[in-house]
Amino acid sequence: MIYIQRRERFSAAHQLYNPNWTEAQNDEVFGMCANKNFHGHNFALIVTVKGEINPETGFVMNLVDLKRIIQEHVTSKLDHKNLNVDVDFMRGKMASTEVLAVEIWNILESKIADYNATLHCVRLEETENNFVEYYG
Amino acid sequence: MIYIQRRERFSAAHQLYNPNWTEAQNDEVFGMCANKNFHGHNFALIVTVKGEINPETGFVMNLVDLKRIIQEHVTSKLDHKNLNVDVDFMRGKMASTEVLAVEIWNILESKIADYNATLHCVRLEETENNFVEYYG
Amino acid sequence: MIYIQRRERFSAAHQLYNPNWTEAQNDEVFGMCANKNFHGHNFALIVTVKGEINPETGFVMNLVDLKRIIQEHVTSKLDHKNLNVDVDFMRGKMASTEVLAVEIWNILESKIADYNATLHCVRLEETENNFVEYYG
Amino acid sequence: MIYIQRRERFSAAHQLYNPNWTEAQNDEVFGMCANKNFHGHNFALIVTVKGEINPETGFVMNLVDLKRIIQEHVTSKLDHKNLNVDVDFMRGKMASTEVLAVEIWNILESKIADYNATLHCVRLEETENNFVEYYG
Amino acid sequence: MIYIQRRERFSAAHQLYNPNWTEAQNDEVFGMCANKNFHGHNFALIVTVKGEINPETGFVMNLVDLKRIIQEHVTSKLDHKNLNVDVDFMRGKMASTEVLAVEIWNILESKIADYNATLHCVRLEETENNFVEYYG
Amino acid sequence: MIYIQRRERFSAAHQLYNPNWTEAQNDEVFGMCANKNFHGHNFALIVTVKGEINPETGFVMNLVDLKRIIQEHVTSKLDHKNLNVDVDFMRGKMASTEVLAVEIWNILESKIADYNATLHCVRLEETENNFVEYYG
């Protein structure tokens, strides 16, 4: 068993806001992240896949395929988008990095299984200081 | 003459959009950067100041002062904000990185002159691949 | 279960020195790290916390709280300090990165438990080539 | 139990090519990585070792020893070399990052056991976007 | 006048070798860089362009165009190639980073002039420690 | 004319302290940087050299020579040292990054001239946010 990782990037706007709360509650919990006009980040997404090495290729899975899957199903839907408004799989959900990591896992898990490999980790880097990892 | 540099960071949303153009023109020129719901970035701002070394301190200018000036007059007005909507000194201007760099220069130039030093360069890093530098 | 990480930084002096050994022994084992006048590093501390996502906030734990805990109880006591002389929780201990990581774990574990989350890992980066991770 | 990590670097040429396949098959699977004249990378190798902290030194294992082992047995044989041609332990094997990580593990495992510590992970970074991790 | 920069990357093999010299001379001057089986690097290319800000767009030049020019005329000819063998504009020249930077300048200068902007600098990063800059 | 750059690193302790001042004055100006027990940093030193490309080698100057000069005359005297106590060329001077950059320039200028090249810039990075550049 060996692990391969692919990093992809996307730039998105978002806002942390719970519609069931008052504005004062949102401001208290989310502070400047609740700005109603949005702010944004350059996100880095690192996807880890595990599997056996195919002796014919030396690969767990061709990184060209992994890159294509991530771009087609995830980053093309997030890059230069607003996470609260533009992204179908985030609709009605809190636009936190934690929730986004779980949703990305849910999208990628079966796509990667199609390649005889197993999704192991979805890592999101929101800034150079804040990161999230989800292992299913 | 020696140069000192201070890096500060801010996370902001923006949109590239010329209100004098049709949506089709905006889409053609700005592509996905024209998304009307905004996208965002982690910006890094590197401010370069030049001057003589003060023999009493070994400093051109105390970096504590430079940091405070940048935070008070620039990054506190940009961090977790929307460059098109929330920022007084960007009102009515294109929210490009080039224009933002010029406006930051205009704010900082006289503040730094108060410290017997000279603003030399405003550098903005929008992503890990796109940068702007302005020297006045 | 999901993992969040916060990076904080501190700059400190230290020396690797075992007072029960002769100087020759210290020099042999620790080499230039034994310099009696100290040397120093920019340390990066990455704290990983695990827990369930709170559906109200989208958070495992508010990063504002995690940042405050780390700064109040750890980095404010280490930044611009001498690890061998100035730091109460390092007194009488070897000032190695390994030992420092364990001591930081001991400080943070209960503080994070107060927030309904669990400390998972303390990572210290001493240079761009040398790192330590402690999982309790 | 605590984990220490050492990063070393090497610059090497390689080619992904299966000699049992036709050129067309190689081109289809490996694309531009199959270029018969080779391409190359700056690889970063991060070796993780685990063990107990020695109370006399504060160390799991002296990083001077870990660095020397890695350089003597691994990176000196890879740096400024061609992975397909110059490296004895890669002879007859696919020159993929996955296979290289496994071979490096096989070399280092017993060398590190000599120091009363245990090899935990071999991580190879091929570009800023592609990584492999092997845990034995 | 303002400066914009675009970073692109390519991975290539090369060898430092002067065919007018003996092997002993090549080994003496170029050391392990003369390895006849090649070695390689992940190169980063940073292109700086200067010009006036167009008030309609906020741009010196659309980075989409700059990116396309660099990829079409430069990095597509270098990525996953051998600088000594595969690259028409390096034929018969020393495959050093200095010479490569000059050749890239010669290719880009007129292409960028077509966009009412001026090429200012070609920067090549060969490793994390070795860089070249050419200003024409 | 083309520019080459070499990055070297050193880890050192220091203190900002003017012996002609009272402790209160030192604390007021230098804050926590005045800690009498010292603190420290991982410094990065980037040396820029300019010259013509030698057509025989493709080099301005062999980076092996530049690296050796920097290590022999500068970083070996600074690495794992205390800038206030251990470094002959800093004796009696303020241990600021600005002053250190000037002293490094003074050491390197003539050494590099011996290689038919010209020292252009000494850059010191003290943390990921604070930098100094000196051009003579």
Does the annotation mark F80 as catalytic?
yes
What does the alpha-carbon distance between residue E45 and residue E70 come to, in Å, rounded to a whole number? 9
**Interface contact flag, E129 F62, Cβ < 8 Å:** no
Amino acid at D59: F
Q: Which residues of chain A lie closer than 8 angstroms to B82, CB-CB? A: 13, 35, 37-39
Taking residues D111-120, report their average pLDDT.
Answer: 97
Q: Which residues of chain A lie closer than 8 angstroms to B100, CB-CB? A: none
Catalytic one among D28, D39, D80, D98? D80
- Tell me the shortest Cα–Cα distance from C67 to chain D, in angstroms: 24
**Interface contact flag, E37 D82, Cβ < 8 Å:** yes
Mutate to test the interface with E, among D42, D77, D81 (most CBs of E within 10 A): D42
pLDDT at E58: 98
Tokens, residue E122: 């070609």
pLDDT at F36: 96
- Tell me the shortest Cα–Cα distance from D53 to chain E, in angstroms: 32
For residue D38, give the nearest of E38, E42, E79 by CB distance.
E38
User: What pLDDT band is residue D46 in, cutting at 50, 70 and 90?
Assistant: very high
- Tell me the shortest Cα–Cα distance from A5 to chain D, in angstroms: 5
- Tell me the shortest Cα–Cα distance from C58 to chain D, in angstroms: 28
What does the alpha-carbon distance between residue C80 and residue C10 come to, in Å, rounded to a whole number? 7
Whether there are 3 or more C-beta pairs closer than 8 Å between F and D is no
Q: Please check whether residue C77 touches F, CB under 8 A.
A: no
Tokens, residue D51: 């063990």
- Tell me the shortest Cα–Cα distance from B31 to chain E, in angstroms: 9
- Please state the domain extents for chain E: 2-134
Taking residues B117-124, report their average pLDDT.
Answer: 98
Q: Which residues of chain A lie closer than 8 angstroms to B39, CB-CB? A: 11-13, 40, 79-82
Q: Please check whether residue F21 touches C, CB under 8 A.
A: no
For residue E5, give the nearest of B96, B99, B131 by CB distance.
B131
**Interface contact flag, A60 D128, Cβ < 8 Å:** no
| Burial grade of F20 (CB within 10 A; 0-12, 13-18, 19 or more) | exposed
For residue B82, give the nearest of A37, A81, A127 by CB distance.
A37
Q: Please check whether residue F56 touches B, CB under 8 A.
A: no
Which bin fits D117, alpha (ψ -120 to 50), beta or left (φ > 0)? Answer: beta
**Interface contact flag, D1 C135, Cβ < 8 Å:** yes
Q: What would the pLDDT profile of A60-75 be if each residue is shown by its tens digit?
A: 999 999 999 999 999 9
Q: Which helix (H) or strand (E) holds F120?
A: strand F118-125
The residue with tokens 């302790």 is F13
User: What pLDDT band is residue F77 in, cutting at 50, 70 and 90?
Assistant: very high
Q: Please check whether residue A53 touches B, CB under 8 A.
A: no
For residue D39, give the nearest of E9, E11, E128 by CB distance.
E11
Q: Please check whether residue E1 touches B, CB under 8 A.
A: yes
Cα separation of the two ends of chain C: 18
The residue with tokens 């520019």 is F3
Residues 6+ apart with CB under 8 A from A103: A89, A90, A93
CA B87 vs. chain centroid, Å, equals 12
For residue C53, give the nearest of A20, A98, A128 by CB distance.
A98
Q: Positive or negative, the Cα torsion across A84, B129, A101, A79?
A: positive
**CATH 3.30.750.24 for the E2-134 domain, yes or no:** no
E66-86: b or e for each residue (b if 16 or more CB lie within 10 Å)?
bbebbeeebbebbbbbbbbbb
Nearest chain C alpha carbon to F42: C41
Average pLDDT of chain B? 98
3-state percent breakdown (helix, strand, coil) of chain A, nearest 5: 35, 30, 35
Tokens, residue D48: 């993780």
Q: Which residues of chain D lie closer than 8 angstroms to E33, CB-CB? A: 80
Q: To the nearest 10°, the Cα dihedral for E68, E70, E72, E76? A: -130
Q: Please check whether residue B130 touches E, CB under 8 A.
A: yes
Q: Please check whether residue C30 touches F, CB under 8 A.
A: no
What does the alpha-carbon distance between residue E24 and residue E38 come to, in Å, rounded to a whole number? 17
Contact (CB, 8 A) for F99 and B54: no
**Interface contact flag, C39 F128, Cβ < 8 Å:** no
Taking residues E10-17, report their average pLDDT.
Answer: 98
Q: Which residues of chain B lie closer than 8 angstroms to F132, CB-CB? A: 2-5
Q: Please check whether residue C114 touches D, CB under 8 A.
A: no
Contact (CB, 8 A) for D20 and D9: no
DSSP B53: P
Q: Which residues of chain F lie closer than 8 angstroms to B71, CB-CB? A: none
**Interface contact flag, D131 A62, Cβ < 8 Å:** no
Residues of chain C with pLDDT > 90, as a percent, come to 100
pLDDT at A7: 98
Whether there are 3 or more C-beta pairs closer than 8 Å between A and E is no
What does the alpha-carbon distance between residue A69 and residue A113 come to, in Å, rounded to a whole number? 12
Catalytic residue annotation of E: 33, 80, 126
Amino acid at B26: N
Taking residues E125-129, report their average pLDDT.
Answer: 98
Report the candidate in D87, D116, D115 with the shortest Cα–Cα distance to residue D103.
Answer: D87
What does the alpha-carbon distance between residue A83 and residue A70 come to, in Å, rounded to a whole number? 17
User: What pLDDT band is residue D133 in, cutting at 50, 70 and 90?
Assistant: very high
Average pLDDT of chain C? 98
Taking residues E114-132, report their average pLDDT.
Answer: 97
**Interface contact flag, E101 F2, Cβ < 8 Å:** yes
Amino acid at E20: N
pLDDT at F91: 97
pLDDT at A35: 97
Indicate the pTM of the whole model.
0.98
Cβ atoms < 10 Å from Cβ of F29: 18
**Interface contact flag, A58 D31, Cβ < 8 Å:** no
Report the candidate in C130, C73, C80 with the shortest Cα–Cα distance to residue C105.
Answer: C73
Q: Please check whether residue C58 touches A, CB under 8 A.
A: yes
Residues 6+ apart with CB under 8 A from C75: C8, C9, C10, C45
Tokens, residue E2: 């303002």
DSSP-assigned states of every residue in B95-117 = --HHHHHHHHHHHHHHHHHTTT-
DSSP-assigned states of every residue in E5-66 = EEEEEEEEEE----TTS-HHHHHHHHGGGG-TT-EEEEEEEEEEEEEPPBTTTTBSS-HHHH
The residue with tokens 């889409």 is B27
Amino acid at D47: V
Q: Please check whether residue E133 touches B, CB under 8 A.
A: no
Contact (CB, 8 A) for E11 and E42: yes
Q: What would the pLDDT profile of E52-69 be if each residue is shown by its tens digit?
A: 999 999 999 999 999 999
What does the alpha-carbon distance between residue F67 and residue F59 come to, in Å, rounded to a whole number? 14
Q: What would the pLDDT profile of A7-52 be if each residue is shown by its tens digit?
A: 999 999 999 999 999 999 999 999 999 999 999 999 999 999 999 9
Whether there are 3 or more C-beta pairs closer than 8 Å between F and E is yes
3 state SS of A84: coil
Q: Please check whether residue E98 touches F, CB under 8 A.
A: yes
pLDDT at E105: 98
Report the candidate in D131, D103, D133 with the shortest Cα–Cα distance to residue D41.
Answer: D131
Taking residues B39-54, report their average pLDDT.
Answer: 98
Taking residues A117-132, report their average pLDDT.
Answer: 98
Residues 6+ apart with CB under 8 A from E112: E49, E61, E66, E69, E118, E119
Taking residues C97-110, report their average pLDDT.
Answer: 98
Q: Please check whether residue D132 touches A, CB under 8 A.
A: yes
What does the alpha-carbon distance between residue A4 and residue A45 come to, in Å, rounded to a whole number? 14
The residue with tokens 């201007």 is B93
Q: Which residues of chain F lie closer than 8 angstroms to E101, CB-CB? A: 2
**Interface contact flag, B95 E53, Cβ < 8 Å:** no
- Tell me the shortest Cα–Cα distance from D4 to chain C, in angstroms: 4
Taking residues F46-60, report their average pLDDT.
Answer: 98
Average pLDDT of chain D? 98
The complex's ipTM works out to: 0.96
Contact (CB, 8 A) for D66 and D105: no
Q: Which residues of chain B lie closer than 8 angstroms to F16, CB-CB? A: 57-58
Residues of chain C with pLDDT > 70, as a percent, come to 100
Residues 6+ apart with CB under 8 A from C124: C43, C44, C45, C46, C97, C100, C101, C104, C131, C132, C133
Contact (CB, 8 A) for D53 and D60: yes
Q: Please check whether residue C5 touches A, CB under 8 A.
A: yes
